[in-house]
Amino acid sequence: MAAAGILFYPLTALLLSLLLLSIFLVPSSAFPIPPAGNQWQIFQNLSGCLPGDHNPLLPNLKSYFQRFGYLPSNISNFSDLFDDGLTSALLSYQSNLGLNSTGFLDQSTLSLLTQPRCGVADVIHNSTSAAATTRGRHLYSYFPGRPSWSPEKRVLTYALTDTSAVSIDVPTLRPVFSRAFARWSAATTLNFTEVPSNSDGEIDITIGFYSGDHGDGQPFDGKLGTLAHAFSPTDGRFHLDAAEDWVAVGDVASAGSDDAVDLESVAVHEIGHLLGLAHSSVSEAVMYPALRPKTRKVELVRDDVDGIQQLYGGNPSYRDAAPTGTSSRETGGAGSAAPLPEEKTAPLVVAAALGLALWLI
């Protein structure tokens, strides 16, 4: 019995130390911590919610789907029931955004629901008056009626008309938007020219930063959530949420804020809307609606190029776009691969020390 007692404590200590090590060896990326400002993170609490269930968060989810075109706009009082209407909206959402169409709130769907995104609707429920998909055999899409700028108008003017709501000065903003427009110009027959905001001539595209309700019927919602929105041709309005932690210079992946948003990435996307493209189902495409914080996605892929060239024709000197499915188009920084998660060594040291102490007792 004495021998058994002598062996018991070291074995217990060894098992305890191994247990602690196994916990701390799990990569931190396995349990991603969402940005603090993400208002849609509550949807993660719907994990396991099934059709027929009641959940107090389901009205929030239904409002989300209504906002982005998956439920009728005339409903104002949503129930907490996972009903057939929600299942239908969920299936449409999964199909439109390139997910497996399960009709369930699986982890990949919940993860995408929590990501910041463009404020332009993906579809319009039983309507042809705003953004809706017309895909055919491609994954890009257009607005209803396929609006575009006139064939006689191949030089479009743009101006930064309202920047007072952000701390970034105009000389810093100007090259960001210039590069964003140049990416579309390179692939098409279009050209873009910046003009002063007080220009006497016609300004085709106006760009501004705004907060909350700013008079266009599409109020911003604060940090993350919807990042920006733009209107189809030939409206020309392009609005960005002033509440975001915009990064206009440097590597967004190295930004101090976990909520940092790459300005050029959002600008390239919204310019696509200004030119007539709606959202794409291709997650690598610039026209995909979601963009994670601290990521950069500015290069057009084949789906983007095919869509825009169907509207305006191609630039003969344009180099071929990256093929659809090239995952490196979305990166953790300016043209770099997403950084590996930082290894956490301190917890390992603590676990090892604790195990050794228990062994020696």
**Count of CB atoms within 10 A of residue 37's CB?**
18
Rounded-to-integer distance, Cα 146 and Cα 160, Å:
26
Please tell me whether 239 is known to bind a ligand.
yes
Please tell me whether 54 is known to bind a ligand.
no
Question: Is the C-alpha dihedral spanning 337, 338, 339, 341 positive or negative?
Answer: negative
| Residue 316 to residues 140, 186, 187, 309, 320, Cα–Cα distance (Å) | 21, 9, 8, 11, 10
Answer yes or no: are the C-beta atoms of 260 and 294 closer than 8 Å: yes
Catalytic residue at 284?
no
Please tell me whether 214 is known to bind a ligand.
yes
- Residue 335's identity, in one-letter code, is G
**Is residue 339 classed as helix, strand or coil in its secondary structure?**
coil
Please tell me whether 1 is known to bind a ligand.
no
Please tell me whether 273 is known to bind a ligand.
yes
Please tell me whether 138 is known to bind a ligand.
no
Please tell me whether 241 is known to bind a ligand.
yes
- Per-residue DSSP letter, 200: S
Number of H helices, E strands in the chain: 8, 7
Candidates 194, 202, 264, 270; catalytic one: 270
Q: Residues comprising the binding site?
A: 118, 204, 214, 216, 221-222, 229, 239, 241, 244, 269, 273, 279, 287
Active-site annotation, residues? 270
Q: Residues comprising the binding site for Zn(2+)?
A: 118, 214, 216, 229, 239, 269, 273, 279, 287
Q: Residues comprising the binding site for Ca(2+)?
A: 204, 221-222, 241, 244
